[in-house]
A = this chain, B = another copy of it.
Amino acid sequence: MPKKTHRIARRTEALSRERIVAAAIDILDAGGEGALTVRALAGRLATGSGAIYWHVADKNELLAAAADEVIARVITAVAGSKEPQEAIRAIALGVFDAIDAHPWVGSQLFREPWRPATLEIIESVSGQLHALGGPRAAQFNSVTALLHYILGVAGQNAANARLVAPGTDRSAFLGSVAARWTALDPAKYPFVRQMAAQLRDHDDREQFLAGVDLILAGIAAVR
């Protein structure tokens, strides 16, 4: 039986960084950040916990690599030749949708600004802003403003996803937050109370794009 080891290697494929990251993404998507434990990962890969550490430095690096992977897919997907403003909207929306689908990416984006995930976003946005023209200092301001806005929405979405019970739908969640807002002391929170209805009825994607457009309008105004 000279092919025996060969067969075994085929059945339980050799561990690799790629397989580990892919399994991590699956676990994160299925159960959120809390579900990704080294033991769960090792179990799904049918190996020992220690084996993970041969391919990956620690859990932090694993989380970062998983987020990099998801964002890289987005950026390549939206790459295309459009008008700068439209391209920026597409990039922003791509990131938004990716975080909507994988909320754990939202919390990851904040760590280590030199990671590919953030870098890809900065690079593609600033490429478009460059095409738009204007002085270099203004461009730096514009990229960081857009990036921070996107990150802010990303983080908020990730946090919301952590809060809503897996079964409940988005509008039920918004409805309950709106109800809380309505129940606030009118003397202390008059404006928040007034906004409750809009909170309840708004569409997240539209709202996100409205913010992008607001910033783009600002960029156009100061240019």
Query: Closest residue of chain B to A127, judged by CB?
Result: B191
A144-165: which residues lie under 8 A (CB-CB) from chain B?
Answer: 144-145, 147-156, 158-160, 162-163
A219 contacts across to B, CB distance below 8 A: 214, 218
The number of times this chain is found in the oligomer is 2
Q: How far is A163 from B110 in the complex, measured between Cα atoms in Å?
A: 11
Q: Is the CB of A142 closer than 8 A to any CB of chain B?
A: yes
Contacts of A127 in B (CB 8 A): 190-191
- Given A111-B159, A191-B127, answer yes or no on A211-B145 (Cβ-Cβ < 8 Å): yes
Which one of B136, B181, B211 lies within 8 Å of A141 (CB-CB)?
Answer: B211
Give CA–CA (A136, B213) in the complex, Å.
17
A159 touches B112 (CB 8 A): yes
CB atoms of A211 and B144 under 8 A apart: yes
Query: What chain B residues lie within 8 Å of A119 (beta carbons)?
Result: 184, 189, 192
Question: Known: A112-B163, A159-B111, A177-B113. Is A222-B211 also a contact (CB below 8 A)?
Answer: no
For window 71-112 of A, CB contacts with B under 8 Å fall at: 107, 110-112
State in angstroms the CA–CA spacing of A163 and B114 once bound together: 12
Known: A126-B195, A151-B156, A217-B218; 18 extra A-B contacts, CB below 8 A, are A113-B160, A114-B177, A114-B181, A119-B184, A122-B191, A123-B190, A123-B191, A127-B190, A141-B207, A143-B195, A144-B211, A145-B211, A147-B152, A152-B152, A213-B222, A214-B222, A216-B218, A218-B219
